[in-house]
Each structure stands twice: as C-alpha cells, then as structure tokens.
Structure 1
Amino acid sequence: MIVLTVGLLGSHCEGAISCKNENGDNVDWFILYKKPDGFNYFYIDSTDQNLKENNKDKPVNHQAGVLAHTLGPYFESSPDFGFIAYNDQTPSCNALTEYGHSKGVVMMDKENVVWLLHSTPKFPERDKSNNFYPDSGKRNAQIFMCVTLPSDKSAQIGQHLKDINAHIFKEHNPEKFKDSSTAPQPLPYDNDLWSAGGQKFKHFVKQISKESKDGDLYVTIADTLESNLYIQTWRSDPKDLNKRPLSKTNKGYKLDTIIKVGTAAGTWEHGSDHSKWCVSDSKDWMCVGDSNREPSQFERPGGALCINSKDVADAFKGITKDIAKDSKRTGSPQNPSIPVKKKGG
C-alpha cells in the first residue's frame, strides 16, 4: 500500500480539482444518499446545508450529475493528475475479505485532494462518464461523502488508507503518490482533518478484534465523541437478539440501530440500505463509515470520516424514523417522547 504525498504536479486545465454539485460548480464538500430501487437521491453540501431531493433529470448515474462532475478528472486521466480507486468489491470480484470493507476514490493535483468515500460495490465500474455507475448499485440505498482538501493533507489520507488496508483496484500516475509511510500508529486512532474551505472533519481507524467492544467501529466513534449514536449499517436481522452487537459502549454510551429512514426521496427500512453512517444524538457529528455491525467485520480493518456540522447532524437525525425495539428510546430522535409506529403494530 502506498501513502499519498504531494507530487510535482502541474496545474489542471480547469483549475484545482474539487467536489462538484449537479451544475458542475465547485463545493467544499457534499453528502449524497441514494434511495433503494432507483437512481434518485437526496443531497446536502457546503453551499446549501438543507437536505434536498435531486433534479430528477440528473439521477446519480447521469453523465452530467454530481458524481460524474466530481469524477471528471478521473475520466480524463490527464498527465498532470493522479488518482487511486479502492474497493473490496471490484468490478471483477465480489468480495476480498482480506482487505478492509472500504470503498472510495482519491484524486489529486498540485493544489487539492478530493476524497470521495462511498458504500457502492464495483464503483466506479468503468472510466467513462456515461457508464461509471454499476447497475448492481440500483437495488440498495448507498451513501457518498466527498470532501475537498488542501494537497498537504494527502499523506494523512494515505496513512488512513494504509491502516484500513484499502484494496486499490485502479490507479493513474501512481508515481505521483510518493511513499512516505511511517511506523504504524497504535489502533484505534482518530485525527482532525480540515477541508480546503475550513470545515472541520475527523477521521477514524478502528481496532481489529473478534470482541465487539474493541472491533466495532461505532464503539470507537461513540467513545471518542462522547456521545450516543444512531447507526445505519447493513445487518442480517436487527430483531434477532442473539445476533445483535453491543447496545452500549465501553464508556456507557448508547448505540441505537436505525431500522427505518424517511426522506424527500422516499421511506425505506434498513434491509434495503447498503449505506454505513451514524449521527450523534446530542453533538454536531455525522459520520460515513466502511464497516457493518457484524461479528465478521470486527476482525477486519476499517474506518470512518465524520463532519462536524449542526445542520448536517440535525438533517440526518431528522430522517431517522425508527430504531431497533431493544432500545430504551422508542421515539424518533427529534421527538423522543413521541412513540414511533413500529412495523407490524
């Protein structure tokens, strides 16, 4: 695994690379949440911190949409630019369990680094703007978080990717990414990360352990942020008491499983949601992770990127409509005293 540092790169012909919105304009960061059984989504970014539905003429796989605009340099593969794409479920292989369950694209030019984390297997499937999104990604809900960072943050991202054992399946100009690896950091760890626009983020790398109190990414996040969490991950059966992970952390913070999401793009239950995210119930943090709350993943490396934004945290608490029945809180996160109707009753 290589660790990213600043290469001697020329200027991109259209200026420094950046996350983009659906009009192709630069944004400091965005979060995109695709609905299941379709390609529409809802979205929030640095210029408008209100969750909103996408333009129906530009679904997530559109060649002039948010992802295609952001991945423009990836499709161009110009000589003054470098990228790596990592995914444990590549276009040619369904599962590589010796790697972290992580997925993303890192792009870099002289000025900026764009880090796009996501939960979609086989993404990007191809390197053309009109066929980059895999058809297999249509079935389940998926999440994407993009952040634009100064180029001097590339080594920090590279160390993160090394420590989560990300599987790189496609790269361009790999010589631009110099290896500056240092001694491995003790796990788990977290570090602050500031975007090019000054937004505070924090990235986490979890411990590897068969014990959920150590190997569960969300235990690490909750104990570090000192907050209860609402958590959405892919799980086989949240109602099976024998298969549930811890409901409390080592420090006594509560971990609630989200089982229903309600958005402008529709309402769905967790069984059709392949995204991995969590939100603090009392602090201004929302995170996109790469690990599920399953025992098999406690023994795999993994991590998360979290944004410190009240608007984002409130928006994601607002779409959480139901949590697992074993939780002592039976209402919605916004109104805990108001019971939420459970499935089947």
Structure 2
Amino acid sequence: MTVRTLWSIYLLLLGPTLPLWASHISCINEDGKPVDWYILYKFPKHMSYDVARTGLEYMFMDSVTPAWKLSKYFINMTESALGQTLQQLYQTYEAKNSVAYVMYNDGPPNKMNYSWTHGHSKGFLLLEESQGFWVIHSIPEFPPFPEDGFSYPSTGKSYGQAVICLTFPYDQFAEIDRQLLYYNPNVYNCSIPKPFQGELFYVQILCAGSQLPPAPWNQSLVKLQSAKAETFFSFAKTKCDHEDIYVAWMAQKLQTDFLVESWQRKGHQLFSNCSLPYHIYNINRIQTPWNTSFSSYYDHSKWCVSIRPEDQWTCIGDLNYAAQQSKRSGGFVCTQNRYIYTAFRSLVLHYYDCRELHESIYGSHSIVF
C-alpha cells in the first residue's frame, strides 16, 4: 500500500471528527492535523558546535504549538508538515472543477530557466470553494510538478530555508490574487477552473501564460484574516518601486526598527541603515534553542523581527536585503502574533548596528511579555 493511499484513508477516517473549518483544505502540521498556520525553518549544512548535517533537518512551530520544536522528520519526507500539506495538492490536482492551485518560483524545477523578469518570489496555493492555503517559502526549484509527486530539491539543502503556511477562508483569495498582481510571480504550473476565475482574475492570466496588466500603484498593503480570524498584513511591491522594501517601506509603515535576516552573498549585502526614522539592522548570526548557531551567509531565508519587544512585528517573505533586490517585485506577510515574535527574536545572536557588530542584548534568552 502506497503512502498516498494510506494518507487518503487517514483523511477519510479523520474527516468526520474535525471541526467544520478544518475539514477542508488547510495547512497540515506534523501530527496530520489541520492548523491555522505553521512555520518551518530548515537548518543549513554548516553549523557551529555540531556534527555534520544532511541539510534536511528543521525546526517548526504552528498555531497549536507556538514555540520552536525540533522535527523528528527530514524536510524531504512526506510525513513532514510540508509533505503532508502538499499531499492535498498532489491528490486533488486532477479534480477539474473542485479545486484551484498555483505554483510559482523564480527558479522553477525540472531544469527550467531562471526568470529575471518575474518577481523574486516562491510559493504555492491550493483552494476549494470554502477555504485553502497560501505557502510562502525560500526554496529554489520547489515544489515539484503535481505529476512528479512530493520530493525536496538538492539545491535546497546547503542553505537555511524558511516556509510559512497560512490557511485562509475563500473570500481572502481575491485579496491574495490582487497582491500577486504586484508580485508578478513566475507561475510554472497551475489550474484555475471556471468556478474560481472570478476570485483569481490575475492568477488566471498568469496561468494562461499571458502578460499581466500594469498594477495601479507600485506598492500594495492589505490586511488578511486567516481561517481562525488571525490578522496578517501583506506587503507587495512591483519592480517599478526601486526602494528597498525593508528600509523605505516596512520599517517606516509599521514604525519599528527591524533586525533583518536574509541571504548574505558576498559583495551583494547592504549595510545596516539608520538614515530614516526607523532603522534596519543586519543580522550576522542565528542561534537555535539547542545551543547551535550558523552564519547568515549560509541562510537563504528572508525575514525580519522588531528589535523592541513592545512592537512585536515579525515578517516573512521573498526579498533579500540586497541592492539588486530593490528592483525586483515580491512581498512579505507580517504579524504581531506574540508567539511568533518571541520565537524569531530569540534566534538573533549577533547583528550589526550602524557602526559595528553588536551582540543582541537579549542573548540566547526568549523575551518575556
């Protein structure tokens, strides 16, 4: 009996016991349970004070258990939260009218060409006519085409990667569709049946391989509400907005100083920036709750967190804090969930202020509210 068959039987048996909101397409955690959201953080191969790693280990947290937990699975296993969530897509993608899905990545799988003309964004969404999920991630060449089934690319092993999955009611996908107009993502596989085309107007244009109309503005900020009514803010920018999204927009709009973690490629990284009322500080090193750490040079994730506990902002998204990224489209989702904030703020071991390297004043301890 295949894993896919076992999963189908499991959902069939579990379905009647679930609350109404959770009996539909949603983010699935490692226990096989529908959750409002989850976050995965895959470790890089290169970490201090540790034995050699495979590049597949990760920690996770979700709306049920909102604190970092070391996974007992590798990220390439179907039992992982990412694998279980994607199984819903791989099992239902042939359903011609009951579900819609979109996969996008500037570096798509199957040796397809990298896209410099689309957004620097990676993600996928799956929905039915009651609810669905939106996954934003940093993994190149992922996810695989539906007909290929679940796997994890070798190109995603060396560096750290971040994944956030959000479950939304159906009416929120019209807002997400409008945000994707600004992202202009490189869609490489999709299906938008007729019942969904009203809500997914712009995505269906991309799905057809056509060019999007110009966005009405260079930026768009909208409020989204998850299936359990938790608020998230979506920042989206076009390639015509040449300002850095961290410095010029998110920090100033949310009125917070941000610690920023993104891929620090040599010769491409920016310095910490204190030129505007709210500042950006470049993270230099990440620590885990298990007394290991790694350099931002080995981290491909893109996130930022308020330096002040009272602000409580955490944002996860698409764009690196790098000069050339200011000319790419993409975006972030931001939240003031205090558990998410505490989890991410505790990861900051060292950062640069606007003059020199400083150790976080909170060290390796979580912030108490």
CA contact (8 A) 1:234 1:271 kept: yes
Secondary structure at the counterpart of residue 146 of structure 2: coil
Partner Cα distance (1:66, 1:333) in 2: 33
Closer, same or farther: CA 94–268 of 1 in aligned 2, 3 Å: farther
Give the structure 2 partner of residue 54 of structure 1: 71
CA offsets, 1:54-79, max 9 Å, x none? 11xx2111112101111122111241
Partner Cα distance (2:150, 2:40) in 1: 19
Partner Cα distance (1:135, 1:128) in 2: 19
Secondary structure at the counterpart of residue 88 of structure 2: helix
Give the structure 1 partner of residue 256 of structure 2: 227
Residue 312 of structure 1: CA displacement? 1.0
Secondary structure at the counterpart of residue 142 of structure 2: coil
Residue 325 of structure 1: CA displacement? 5.9
Partner Cα distance (1:319, 1:327) in 2: 22
Establish whether residue 193 from structure 1 lines up as the match of residue 210 from structure 2.
Answer: no
Establish whether residue 247 from structure 1 lines up as the match of residue 273 from structure 2.
Answer: yes
Match of 1:105 among 101, 104, 124: 124
CA contact (8 A) 1:284 1:313 kept: yes
Partner Cα distance (1:296, 1:183) in 2: 22
CA contact (8 A) 1:210 1:295 kept: no
Deviates more, 1:258-267 or 1:129-138: 129-138
Give the structure 2 partner of residue 88 of structure 1: 106
Closer, same or farther: CA 177–264 of 1 in aligned 2, 3 Å: same
Establish whether residue 69 from structure 1 lines up as the match of residue 84 from structure 2.
Answer: yes
Give the structure 2 partner of residue 127 of structure 1: 146
The one-letter code of the counterpart of 1:26 is P
Deviates more, 1:109-118 or 1:265-274: 265-274
Deviates more, 1:30-39 or 1:92-101: 92-101
Partner Cα distance (1:249, 1:120) in 2: 32
Q: Which has the higher contact order (CA 8 A, sep 6+)?
A: 1
Give the structure 2 partner of residue 273 of structure 1: 299
CA contact (8 A) 2:66 2:340 kept: yes
Partner Cα distance (2:231, 2:275) in 1: 25
Closer, same or farther: CA 104–333 of 1 in aligned 2, 3 Å: farther
Partner Cα distance (2:197, 2:177) in 1: 10
Please give the root-mean-square deviation of Cα atoms over the aligned residues, in Å: 2.5
Give the structure 1 partner of residue 56 of structure 2: 39
CA contact (8 A) 1:256 1:327 kept: no
Instruction: Map 1:1-345; keep pairs closer than 5 Å.
Output: 15-37=23-45, 38-55=55-72, 58-76=73-91, 77-79=93-95, 80-91=98-109, 92-93=111-112, 95-127=114-146, 131-179=150-198, 180=201, 184-206=215-237, 208=239, 214-237=243-266, 244-245=270-271, 247-248=273-274, 250=276, 252-264=277-289, 266-282=292-308, 283-324=311-352, 326-327=354-355, 330-334=358-362
For structure 1, the 5+ residue unaligned runs are 1-11, 337-345
TM-score normalized by the length of structure 2 = 0.79
Give the structure 2 partner of residue 342 of structure 1: none
The one-letter code of the counterpart of 1:259 is N
Point out the structure with the larger helix share: 2
Closer, same or farther: CA 90–249 of 1 in aligned 2, 3 Å: farther
The one-letter code of the counterpart of 1:145 is I
CA contact (8 A) 1:100 1:301 kept: yes
The one-letter code of the counterpart of 1:235 is Q
Residue 321 of structure 1: CA displacement? 0.3
Partner Cα distance (2:136, 2:269) in 1: 28
Residue 335 of structure 1: CA displacement? 5.1
CA contact (8 A) 2:272 2:352 kept: no
Partner Cα distance (1:106, 1:131) in 2: 15
CA contact (8 A) 2:161 2:301 kept: yes
Closer, same or farther: CA 306–73 of 1 in aligned 2, 3 Å: same
The one-letter code of the counterpart of 1:260 is R
Partner Cα distance (1:315, 1:146) in 2: 16
Partner Cα distance (1:329, 1:235) in 2: 15
Partner Cα distance (1:46, 1:310) in 2: 11
Deviates more, 1:218-227 or 1:152-161: 218-227
For structure 2, the 5+ residue unaligned runs are 1-10, 16-22, 46-54, 203-212, 365-369
CA offsets, 1:249-275, max 9 Å, x none? 54x211011111111464110111000
